Amino acid sequence: MTSDLAELTGLDARDATRLKVLQCIRANGEISRTDIARTLESSPATVTSACGALLDAGLISEVEKTPSDTVQRGRPRVMLQINGAVFLLAGVKIARTAILVVIVDFKGDEIGTYALPLTVSRMPAKELVLQVRAALEAACDHLGAEMGQIAGVALGMPGFINGQTGFMHWSSSVTERNVNFAPLFIEHLSCPTFIDNDANLVAKAEHLFGAGRGLRNFLVVTVEHGVGMGIVLNGELYRGERGCGAEFGHAKVQVNGAVCQCGQRGCLEAYVGDYAMVRDASTGRQGDAPKSIADIIEAARQGDQLAHQVLERSSEILGVALANLVNLFDPEHIVIARSRPPFDPPYPEIMLKALRRNTVQVDAPLPGLTVRNLDESMWAKGAAAHGIEMVSILKVRERSVLDVA
């Protein structure tokens, strides 16, 4: 959460300070008022006033620390911490075969996860929202929580989504185009609900808990059914002017190339996404066609030439696409987060060679590269982190309304 986000969401200067103090407490776990003032380069009076409002709202609590050594003899130090118990939040990932829910407290500690299986992977927007409600109710039942305890829900979904307004331009999970989710959420869900591109939320999770911790400029490329990207620049998630940038999967890698699920041709994911690789490895085949990436890998192991060609081409194209990212962004680090089995040799080496060969050569090492299995819960955790951020803003605003009244 950042002060820029405060600007984006229209907080005034006093609320922006309260939000910064809340962020500072969250980042430090436990911290004294004096140390908050020092960290934020703010006056002790300003910090004391902001902490008073946050304490009144129940968002933080005080803990007394008795000094353990004689040097610090005197009054116990009063530390501040996030009040985890104040309410719960839900992070939700719309996947192709299930709706995954993680429930966390306001501190971000996980209460538990739940998956509601889906029988179809693409449905009308209203149906999707009803399925999300069913998933939340089932998750609460399963985890012994009440729906009324949930103060906010954040959904991550693939596609072109404006995270600020809740407007979805296109998604592979929804049958219609151009849907404003905000009124659907108000009608069918009982608490504030936010939606964002799922790769953005994975980038947020990597920034908070993963390989991006402490980094200012890094990219997360998600490779699964489609290909997504989250961009963190100067420590902030970059969303683009219309809030729907970073659709790396639809970057063109071939003029008049393979047909993509977005309706255009030659997109990166039309070569690298699971659906494209399964399609290409099945073309013209008699008998058993591969149905998954695991099947393609197994067929290549058995010496199947078409499976080998599909893996080879996909690895090379991904390497070229990553080189384009290095040339464009000069990031400190790239995380490739994939929901699929790792490719056998020589395919990882083919990808790396294409990456090295197509990166503009300068007298500096390539950025770090982490390839990780995108464990399903990481998507939902990223959504939960987004929920915590958005609900923090709402609660600071609510508190501000009370001040005026």
The residues that touch Zn ion, with contacts defined as CB under 5 A, are 250, 260, 262, 264, 267
Minimum distance from residue 96 beta carbon to Zn ion (Å): 17
Q: Which residues contact 404 (CB under 8 A, 6 or more apart)?
A: none
Cβ proximity to Zn ion, 48 vs 324, nearer residue? 324
Cβ proximity to Zn ion, 105 vs 247, nearer residue? 247
Cβ proximity to Zn ion, 129 vs 221, nearer residue? 221
Two structure tokens written together for 53 = 């409002």
Minimum distance from residue 264 beta carbon to Zn ion (Å): 5
222 to each of 17, 272, 348, how far by Cα in Å? 34, 11, 16
Kindly report whether the peptide bond that precedes residue 346 is cis, defined as omega within 30 degrees of 0. Answer: yes
Cβ proximity to Zn ion, 86 vs 251, nearer residue? 251
Minimum distance from residue 171 beta carbon to Zn ion (Å): 12
- Do 193 and 155 contact (CB within 8 A), yes or no? yes
Two structure tokens written together for 292 = 């998954």
**Three-point CA angle 347, 348, 354, nearest 5°:** 90
Minimum distance from residue 250 beta carbon to Zn ion (Å): 4
Minimum distance from residue 294 beta carbon to Zn ion (Å): 24
The three-state secondary structure class of 364 is coil
Cβ proximity to Zn ion, 159 vs 319, nearer residue? 159
Backbone phi and psi for residue 141, each to the nearest 5 degrees, phi listed first: -55, -50
Minimum distance from residue 326 beta carbon to Zn ion (Å): 22
Q: Which residues contact 73 (CB under 8 A, 6 or more apart)?
A: 67
Cβ proximity to Zn ion, 228 vs 367, nearer residue? 228
> Which H or E element spans position 113?
strand 110-117
The three-state secondary structure class of 152 is strand
Minimum distance from residue 305 beta carbon to Zn ion (Å): 27
Backbone phi and psi for residue 29, each to the nearest 5 degrees, phi listed first: 80, -70
CA 25, 27, 28, 33 dihedral sign is negative
The closest alpha carbon to 92, from 123, 134, 146, 143, belongs to 134
- Do 169 and 162 contact (CB within 8 A), yes or no? yes
Minimum distance from residue 263 beta carbon to Zn ion (Å): 7
Minimum distance from residue 257 beta carbon to Zn ion (Å): 10
Distance between CA atoms of residues 246 and 237, nearest Å: 10
Cβ proximity to Zn ion, 91 vs 230, nearer residue? 230
Cβ proximity to Zn ion, 50 vs 260, nearer residue? 260
Backbone phi and psi for residue 333, each to the nearest 5 degrees, phi listed first: -155, 145
Beta strands in 257-381 (DSSP E): 333-338, 368-373
Distance between CA atoms of residues 221 and 242, nearest Å: 20
Cβ proximity to Zn ion, 229 vs 260, nearer residue? 260
